[in-house]
Structure 1
């Protein structure tokens, strides 16, 4: 059976475990649509009302499935609308492959101020919000392009990538060599690096000496699949955990050591008090944004910080990291658990958290009832 560029792309995406592509069609990207149809039940296309919606849908798909999200748009005016959704995926490290198109090579000189319809340098527009960008030079390079895009999306610190497929090579017949697809190449996380034993031991020593340790959980903890390890460490060290919005639920919120969300968006008095009074903070895939740290006031002076992150550039960013553990959260936490011989009774901490929450709910219940009464009267509670 003859294959065109769209067949090759759709088949490889399906091999990588992608079951849905979100997008808005255009004449230049129709080969992908025909390729998806030819794949039958392995992969489907979901039509979106807008290209912006397509990127956010791909982002959500990646978060829920634990795999790669894929979106598509036509050349120029379509692809450049990816920017909002890709910015979110880039900042929160979500693996997304955004597929756009381009006019014929001999049209590229017409990019200047719209001389050629839909001729926009999409790669340059999307460069600030993607890890990697590339253009398909020839249909026979399609397997290499898709494979590299998938690997780039999931490797290291995950994130979105953009691939541009001009109309001509997209629709041409594939005549290149046979190719194989390896689903592991597109698995998340792609690799699970770990810190050295000495670094692990240094972190363990700090945890053993801690009187009131607290964990801060971010989106990186979710994407690593570290839920079981985080729960085990919290229980072994009697260590409560607060989360950013993207880390919400890594430690189940009905767990007696869960503090819920911390920060100005969604946080509460209990999580703030426990985090601010901690002597040691163990941050796991946590970015320390202004929202989750009350305007960068956490960590506070005198607090020690152990930081686990796949991205070494996160270490010592904004503030000094006392112990930096560069590695995958799940694998690094398992090393900590394997070498940590300490055990603490969580009963006292759990009772403290429960007492604080009862007081907080009582206080906030009164406050919100008063707010509702004042609003009904047309008065401002502020």
Structure 2
């Protein structure tokens, strides 16, 4: 089969690889009909995520049609159309029973390695390094899905792929980010980044009762999308000081809730901390450029909440923890417990409350994926979200 494979920093290729197949009785085999490139895939492209090996198959936003199931699979059958969450979860461990699916205790075969890096191991993830299991990803013609009775959700309507595909990751991720922000009715919510996850965090903030949403970026087409589709006020950080502007917009109080939807590859307009981060990353002294996290801590109102869906991979430094403690802030983060959100968010799509396809700017064949990764990373050609068609 054809699959997009990682060959080193900045080097991804479509290769011919052995066909995916059933390996365990609880597996399903999916023929991929649509898959997407996620912002967190760029951390793999740029070499920031440890645990990558040459030939790893990328991708964690897939959907398709079931072509085979293992002997213990009871909820899926051949011909079912499904969206596959990026989190691989057993459904029965302590954490899955609490619906904390991304914290599953059993699905990372490399848990001992992850424990050394993080203290405890998260769940296995599709297409995202051997630190979280080394599972083959979904930017391919076929995908093996472990624990198939726990992960995929069946799409039983005639909704097109583009409307339901993002249940695999970015819609639940944006929604959980807004939920983690503990939004109260009428709150002012500031969202750093206007990429795909941020766009869904903006939409979700309104769903959860925000009175005002402010989106921060510097890419014109992303800011325009946040304004037009997200009904957000916007700040271009290349043109103004984010801290000063937010203080002015909130009469000196600061936003009630702050969402860092950027993560470890943050850009900034020449601030000292961002210059140091970039220099250290260039020579391998850090894997995380944490400007947005620092800025969110400084901007958030006292006793406010910071939600972090943006991916961090190592040991970001110079975090203003004194400000965090003295301001009485709360922080919530984590990989998304996707399975918790699948049914309620699918219901919203089916009822017409949201059409997630608004973020798509490029639809391309799998063969064009290497070039599409770079277009997406470099924010060229108005690229905000890429859907691949194997």
TM-score for the superposition, normalised by structure 1: 0.34
Higher Cα Rg, which structure: 1
Return the structure number with greater helix share.
1
Return the structure number with greater strand share.
2
TM-score for the superposition, normalised by structure 2: 0.34
- The structure with higher relative contact order (CA 8 Å, sep 6+) is 2
